[in-house]
Amino acid sequence: MTTFRFELVSPERLIFSGDVAQVDVPGEEGDFGVLAGHAPFIATIRPGVLAIHPDHAAPMMVVVRGGFAEVGPTGVTVLAQEVVPVDEIDPAVIHQAIKNAQEDATDAKDEATRDKALARLDHLNTLKDALGH
C-alpha cells in the first residue's frame, strides 16, 4: 500500500510525524478517511477518535478535541487543541470526572460556569466513548 506523510500536532508538541497508509479523522461534517493521493482540502475536527494506520502495523488511536485537518499534496497535518492516546485513559478516572462535571454543571451559580462544566462533560464523554465504556 502507498504511504504518505502525516503529522499530528497539539499546542504543546508534535505528537506524531511519519509515513502512514491511512488516517481516519473525526470531522465536524462527518468522519473521513485519508489515503495517499487524496484530494486537497481543509476540515474542522470535532472531539472524537483519530486512527493512525502505519503501513503494516496496528493502528494508533488517539482522542482529539478541536482543531483542523489539512490534506495537501505532500500529506496530512492535523492541528488539535488536545490529544490523548487511548491507551493512556483510565476508565475509573474518567467515570469519576464525569460525575464531578455533572455535579459542577448542576451546582453552577452562573451560565459561564455551567457552560464550562458542560464543555468539560462533553469532552469526558468523548474519552469514555473512545474506551467503549
Count Cβ atoms below 10 Å from residue 100 Cβ, excluding itself: 14
Cell 494508533: give the residue. Answer: 60
Please indicate, yes or no, whether residues 38 and 93 belong to a single structural domain of this protein. no
Q: Are residues 79 and 14 in the same domain?
A: yes
For 53, residues 6+ apart whose C-beta sits below 8 A from its C-beta are 20, 21, 22, 23, 24, 59
Pair (34, 65) in one structural domain: yes
Residues 82 and 101 in one domain: no
Q: Are residues 30 and 77 in the same domain?
A: yes
Backbone angles phi, psi at 109, to 5 degrees: -85, -20
Show the domain range for 60. 4-87
**Per-residue pLDDT band at 133 (split at 50, 70, 90):** low
Q: What is the pLDDT of residues 70-116, one digit of tens each?
A: 999 889 999 999 888 888 777 888 888 889 889 999 998 999 999 98
Total of domains in the chain: 2
pTM, to two decimals:
0.75
- Each residue's pLDDT tens digit, 25-64: 999 999 999 999 999 999 999 888 899 999 888 899 998 8
